[in-house]
Amino acid sequence: MHSEVESRTGEFLKQVTSLLGDAAVKVSAQDLEPYSTDWRKRYVGKPLAVLLPSDIRQVSEIVRLANRLKIPLVPQGGNTGLSGGATPDQSGQQVILSLARLQRVRSQDAANKTITVEAGVTLKQVQEIAESMGLLFPLSLGAEGSATIGGNLATNAGGTAVLRYGNARNLCLGIEVVTANGEVWD
């Protein structure tokens, strides 16, 4: 059983390295450390690797491959969460799928008062874009310079103005997702 897991793990790392390149696959203890604990340092995990895809196609391929090889993934945005949801366990078997490099602003539509961004765009960037359009994006957190929109939506962040403007889901018109089998839905 142990050698089967090692074989699947080795095959997974080989294929994702081919897909992403060496620089986007982190495996050294020093490279893994910043991704291994939550913002408060309350939860500490031990990931097998950290993957840093740069587009939705790469995310889809990673998820498809992980599903096929039964490799557990832990999605992570800006890693500013306070409840450990983006922290791997201590098994050394889970792979962190960091969405921090998905930083494109796809569109700004002042007439319809919408901004379309990828998951790794920070909350601060969205606030600044909204302001440049004469709008307010009211989600406000202490970590807005490093918290990502993907993480905000994944946790349904509320922030300091939640009672007036609602949670993250109230500020979102739609999302593009990668399903557990690697399909892209939007």
The pLDDT, as a whole number, for residue 39 is 85
CATH 3.30.43.10 corresponds to the domain 2-101: yes
Say what the pLDDT of residue 1 is. Answer: 54
**Does pTM top 0.75 for this prediction?**
yes
Beta bridge partners of 115: 108
Q: What confidence tier does 40 reach under pLDDT thresholds 50, 70, 90?
A: confident
CATH architecture of the domain 105-178 equals 2-Layer Sandwich (3.30)
The pLDDT value recorded for residue 56 is 98
Q: For 146-181, how does the pLDDT look when each residue is reduced to its tens digit (9 = 90+)? A: 999 999 999 999 999 999 999 999 999 999 999 999
Residue 26's H or E segment, with its range, is strand 25-26
| Mean pLDDT across the chain | 95
> According to the model, what pLDDT value does residue 82 have?
82
85 by Cβ neighbours in 10 Å (0-12 / 13-18 / 19+) ranks as middle
Q: What is the pLDDT of residue 5?
A: 84
**Per-residue pLDDT reduced to its tens digit, 120-146:** 999 999 999 999 999 999 999 999 999
Task: Specify the amino acid at residue 55.
Answer: D
β-bridge partners, 109: 114
Enumerate residues 6+ apart whose C-beta is below 8 A from 173.
114
**Which residues, in sequence order, are CB contacts of 93 under 8 Å at separation 6+?**
5, 9, 48, 71, 72
Q: Domain map of the chain by residue range? A: 2-101, 105-178
Q: What is the largest CA-CA distance in the chain?
A: 59
Residue percentage of the chain with pLDDT more than 90:
90
